[in-house]
Structure 1
Amino acid sequence: MVMKLGSLITATLPLLALAACGEESTPAEDAADVAQVREIHDNPPPVPVDPERISYNDIEKNNLFGAGCGFAPANSLSVIALAQPENGYLKLKGEIIHLSPDKGGAELPMSSWQNYAGEKFAFELKQLPGEGEESGVESTSWPGALTITNAKDQTVYQAEGTLQCGA
């Protein structure tokens, strides 16, 4: 056992000597390093989400009927966000997420709102510049954009597409 301990000490001493030969760090550098590690720990990078299509079955099952706006990403007809006068909805990992409107913010057509927030996520729907065109008996479509953020206000999804509002 003594032989193994002596070998371990002999092997470790050169490593300690190498570490001692390096430049000494200042307390400010040490504090900056600690702050950087804490920042990474306290604010990990955002984990992207992949919003799913809110199907007619989802609307029926969760009673999501009513006037408002829906967002479909470019090259898709699938609505992935619903904005209604009193509620907003996303579907993430098979679950319908309920969000509340920010009624102090910008209003969209059909008494829906630009911003909705929940416990873990929030979304912002924007009506982009451009002419709206009738897309049904009681609906109009515009260019739009959707941004979803997490509870730390980090962007986890962003897309442009179509904002369709109607009854």
Structure 2
Amino acid sequence: MLAGLLLGCGNAPSEDQRAAEDAAIADRVREANETGPPIEEVVPETISYPDMETNDLLGQGCAYAPGTSMGVRVIARETDAYLKIDGEMVRFAADPGSRELPSNTRSLYNGRTHSLRLAVGEVAQEGEIEDTTFEGTMWLYDRWDRVVYTGTGTANCGV
């Protein structure tokens, strides 16, 4: 019987083995906690003129319309930006530390569940008064910083 106990003691993992196993388990748990759920793509809807009036979105800013569509998907202003998702206007707060774009807009806006990154390229058309049309790109990220929507088209900036 004493021999059985001694043999049982010899099979126990060493402290180094136990520490390596614990580290591997901790890595798997950390990886599982950091992995988000499957990506849910978002397709922003066109912001209508009544949406703009209701949310007081008329005035200085940039309106982004992806593709060849004239339907505005994002309205960015100095302090905030709006996107229409599932029939609701979603507000994003400007990140004051991000790069400044035309019409005092910003390159990054943060919302409760998503963040919005904007960029403008070359001038496509100079306006007569203060409006200027650029090539514009928008990216919508989920809370795990994964792109759930991207669109490139025009960005009309001005008053």
Whether these two folds match at TM > 0.5 is: yes
SS state of the match for residue 132, structure 2?
A: strand
In structure 1, list runs of 5 or more residues that go unmatched.
1-26
The aligned counterpart of 1:14 is none
Of 35, 47, 70, 1:54 maps to: 47
SS state of the match for residue 157, structure 1?
A: strand
Of 133, 142, 153, 2:125 maps to: 133
Of 149, 157, 160, 2:141 maps to: 149
Paired with 1:41 and 1:84, the residues of 2 have a C-alpha distance of 33
The aligned counterpart of 1:45 is 38
1:75-90 → structure 2 map (5 Å cutoff): 75-90=68-83
Amino acid paired to 1:156: V
The aligned counterpart of 1:23 is none
CA separation of 1:44/1:135 partners in 2, compared to 1, >3 Å: closer, same or farther? same
**Among the aligned pairs, what percent are the same residue?**
33
The aligned counterpart of 1:108 is 101
Calculate the TM-score normalised by the size of structure 1.
0.73
Q: Deviations over 1:65-105 (max 9, x none)?
A: 22011110011001101110111111000000011001111
The aligned counterpart of 1:18 is none
Paired with 1:135 and 1:95, the residues of 2 have a C-alpha distance of 31
Of 137, 155, 159, 2:151 maps to: 159
Q: CA RMSD in A?
A: 2.3
Structure having the higher strand fraction is: 2
CA separation of 1:81/1:136 partners in 2, compared to 1, >3 Å: closer, same or farther? farther
SS state of the match for residue 131, structure 1?
A: strand
Amino acid paired to 1:76: S
**TM-fit CA distance, 1:42:** 4.1
Amino acid paired to 1:69: C
Paired with 2:151 and 2:128, the residues of 1 have a C-alpha distance of 23
Paired with 1:66 and 1:43, the residues of 2 have a C-alpha distance of 38
In structure 2, list runs of 5 or more residues that go unmatched.
1-19
Paired with 1:100 and 1:135, the residues of 2 have a C-alpha distance of 28
Calculate the TM-score normalised by the size of structure 2.
0.77
Q: How many residues matched?
A: 137
Provide runs of 4+ in structure 1 moved above 6 Å.
none
2:99 touches 2:106 (CA, 8 Å); kept in 1? yes
